[in-house]
Amino acid sequence: PKTDVVFLKVHKSASSTVMNILFRFGETHNLTFAFPQGGGFQLYYPHHFLARFVQGFSPQSPRRFNILCHHMRFLQPEVRKVVPSSAVYFSILRNPVQLMESSFVYYKGASAFSRVRSLEQFLRQPYRYYNPASGDRHYARNLMTFDFGFNPDGEVSPERVQLMLKAIEASFDFLLISEYFDESMVLLKEMLCWDLDSVVSFPLNSRDSSTKSPLPDSVVEKLKAWNRLDWEIYTHFNRTFWERIERDIGRERMGREVRALRARQAELARTCLQGTGSVGPKDIKDSSLKPLQHGGARILGYNLKQGLDEELERTCRRLVTPELQYSSLLYKKQFPPRPP
């Protein structure tokens, strides 16, 4: 199994669920994480990543960390300073239309969104609300482009798009697609030589459907045009995702693997969870399992069954621990507080 991994955690793309998979794998195999300085949750995002943002990094010591997976704005020369040269680089993408709808609800406080009632209103006159000079502009335009380190307001010429796609291909070994999450997990397992249980998951940081609304076609087209760079990235890597599956796994085997993954997840859900799955924030009984609530979204969580034996309790708890709590836990393990 490959143990040196860089995951570019793209916002609002099921990346918290992937992060939970990496946290569990790292904890099980005693691996080290490149944590933000002081145990924060983002690597000084939205600034481009620098090696000195990582706790325990020093230019004098060649110390390398196994897993880099916290939110960052990608800059590969700096990333290379903190992970082994053998590290596997991957990320996950989401359809920019759904991504922006999610971003609008989640980052309602962002300067571009705070004065509008709806996405439709924003898209009618985006430049009335969107300021390319504001520090949080990226939440409102080409968020994936921004996370990959590029300019979200860059021109959309065919040459520039090609350069951007080539740069991403040169830096990343593969990109997953959140709309095909189970297939993505099978591909991840394949590329990293991990076993099935390493890539099982329950959806984390997902929204209650009451805050989701279908978008009219006219809005969808405007969203694609407004996020054209993201759309180019997404359509290109969605195509290469399926090409890679055809080449490395084959559709038939992929079907079998996905069924096995879903069966294992269903079995774990029956074993671990009270009720049929996720619940609203006010129904989560264990406060240590409550996810952070943000913007206008209602973020769902889970209740564990009572009376599980110790080993099983630990397995189940890891699967449902929200990102911030899990990150803090692992940080304290890796950098134990000094006794007074």
| Torsion sign, CA atoms 134, 140, 141, 144 | positive
Alpha carbons 235 and 226: distance in angstroms, whole number? 15
Alpha carbons 84 and 103: distance in angstroms, whole number? 33
Q: At what angle do helices 158-171 and 228-248 cross, to 10 degrees?
A: 50
67: left (phi over 0), alpha (psi -120 to 50) or beta: beta
276-322 tens-digit pLDDT: 789 998 999 998 999 888 777 788 999 999 999 999 999 999 999 99
Q: pLDDT at position 55, please? A: 96
118: left (phi over 0), alpha (psi -120 to 50) or beta: beta
38 in a structural domain: yes
Helix (H) or strand (E) holding 236: helix 228-248
268 in a structural domain: yes
177 in a structural domain: yes
315 in a structural domain: yes
Q: What value does the mean pLDDT of the chain take?
A: 95
338 in a structural domain: no
Tokens of 164: 């951007």
Cα 143-177-154 angle, rounded to 5 deg: 30
Please state the domain count of the chain: 1
Alpha carbons 83 and 135: distance in angstroms, whole number? 29
Name the residue range of residue 147's domain: 5-333
Q: pLDDT at position 211, please? A: 67
Q: Which of 9, 12, 11 is nearest to 21 (CA)?
A: 9
112-168 tens-digit pLDDT: 999 999 999 999 999 999 999 999 999 999 999 999 999 999 999 999 999 999 999
Average pLDDT over residues 234-260: 97
Domain of 62: which CATH number? 3.40.50
Decide if pLDDT at 87 tops 90: yes
Decide if pLDDT at 236 tops 90: yes
340 in a structural domain: no
19-42 tens-digit pLDDT: 999 999 999 999 999 999 999 999
Buried b (16+ CB within 10 A) or exposed e, 122-161: bbeebeebbeeeeeebbbbbbbbbbbbbbebeeeeeeeeb
161-191 tens-digit pLDDT: 999 999 999 999 999 999 999 999 999 999 9
Decide if pLDDT at 81 tops 90: yes
Average pLDDT over residues 79-102: 96
199 in a structural domain: yes
Whole-prediction pTM: 0.95
10 in a structural domain: yes
Q: Is 230 exposed, middle or buried (0-12, 13-18, 19+ CB in 10 A)?
A: buried
Tokens of 282: 């006010």
- Mapped onto helix, strand or coil, the DSSP state of residue 36 is strand
